[in-house]
Amino acid sequence: MTITKYINLLLTAIQNLNRFKAKTIAVVLPLTISMSVISFMMFTRGGFIKDTLIAEKFLPDITVQSTEAGRVAKISTDMIEKFGGIPHIKKIIPRVWGYIPLNIDDTDISYTLMGLDLDKIDYHKHLPWTLEQGFFLTKGDKNKAVLGEGCALSLNASVGDTLNIEDTLGNTGQFKLTGILGNTVQVYSTDLILVSIEDARQFFGYKKNEASDLLIYVDDFQSADKIAWEITTTFPNTRVLTAKALTNLVIEAFGRRGGTFQMMWLILLVTLLLILWAQTAHISVDMSKEIGILKATGWLTSDIIIMRMMESLVIGLTGTSVGILIGFIYGLMGTPGISGYCIGCASIYPKFPVPVHCDIQSLLILSIMGVVPIMVISALPSWLAGIIDPDVAIRK
């Protein structure tokens, strides 16, 4: 069969779809809705995963917390000396952090105030944060802060402003804003208030030898799991997390929400396939006569089958392409109406754009998910249409 004949069959298929617009729309519309649902879910989940994997490169190799009665508690910095004798540990840095519940304009919002030990590490070079405005914290800074973008927007704060923070628990602090973080990794940075570890201890009422956790950096990342196991078995009242474990927790937390939309897509797709089967399996008298006439004028059975399959291909490509486009645009708009569900904690979280990531692999998978089921469900009806006896069909 020549290319010209394929083109003629395709044009005939498109003409048929245009003639039976109602039936075509009845299939294309649910396919478009189905693919838009699965598309924005895949693109937003990909955005969260991409941000998380970027941040993983900058996370400490091991994070150690203390537990008391099964709950996370303060950890003594005296543990640094005990951990120091373990081979392959290069550096141990204390960190103080906690959540700050605030009520702004009758809206409950929670920020994360994190105290960094500025004397032991140059955080500006070791964290996945970029500055949108101002300067980062430096060694010796007191009563100064750097805010995440979402936090700065909620507080309507600019570089140089003085922040008087008092949370609903009674903790108070005054900080001069020196910088605002960009949106490189929004899921990690948007709710942050970064201060020195001394300021954080004062805000939360920690003693000088107390910290929220200890950050351990090793000289060989492959030994992180072994070191984590040794700490866990030697010090039973500790909670030990490797960078990989923390990354997996974040991916799971954001990724599991896609399950709801996957189920919605599956229900829509099954409904669509049933509609398509009903549409293609039933051949009307007029359509039967047309096929009979075509075969009587020289069309082969294979030509009829190919033309019918091309109709399904055009429907699949149209609904899938439009659905993917709608899903991508909806994701770029921040998934209005369901952004809280996508983020998971929007009721207390500063607003920030839902990350969106689209690549060739995602587009290929979505195309297969949209087109292949349509083609498969149409195969048998196309064959049944192709084997119609022209004499019987014309006499109907």
325 vs 132, more confident = 325
For residue 237, count other CB atoms closer than 10 A to its CB.
12
Rounded to whole angstroms, how far apart are CA atoms 327 and 221?
A: 39
Strand, coil or helix: what is 266?
Answer: helix
pLDDT confidence of residue 348 = 44
pLDDT in tens, 232-253: 888 888 889 888 887 777 777 6
200 vs 154, more confident = 200
pLDDT confidence of residue 203 = 93
Q: Using H for helix, E for strand and C for coil, what is the string for 81-107? A: HHHCCCCCEEEEEEEEEEEEEEEECCE
pLDDT in tens, 117-150: 888 766 555 565 677 788 888 888 899 999 888 7
Mean per-residue pLDDT over the chain, rounded: 79
Q: Which two tokens stand for residue 136?
A: 């980062």
Least confident segment among 67-81, 122-136, 137-151, 354-368: 122-136
Alpha-carbon separation of residue 185 from 181, 291, 370 (angstroms):
10, 58, 31
Q: Which two tokens stand for residue 14?
A: 């498109």
Q: What are phi and psi of 193, to 5 degrees?
A: -120, 105
Rounded to whole angstroms, how far apart are CA atoms 133 and 141?
A: 18
Average pLDDT over residues 199-220: 90
Residue with tokens 């394929």: 6
Rounded to whole angstroms, how far apart are CA atoms 53 and 250?
A: 10
Q: Which two tokens stand for residue 161?
A: 């402003």
pLDDT in tens, 214-225: 998 888 878 888
Q: Which two tokens stand for residue 360?
A: 């060739």
pLDDT at 342 over 70: no
pLDDT confidence of residue 325 = 94
83 CB-near residues (< 8 Å, 6+ apart): 64, 89, 92, 214, 216, 231
pLDDT at 83 over 90: no
Rounded to whole angstroms, how far apart are CA atoms 117 and 208?
A: 12
Q: Is the pTM here over 0.75, yes or no? A: no
pLDDT at 364 over 60: yes
pLDDT band at 189 (very low <50, low <70, confident <90, very high): confident
Average pLDDT over residues 137-164: 86
Nearest to 100 by CA among 195, 166, 196, 177: 166
pLDDT at 284 over 80: no
Rounded to whole angstroms, how far apart are CA atoms 330 and 261?
A: 14
pLDDT at 359 over 90: no
Domain ranges in the chain are 3-53+254-395, 75-211
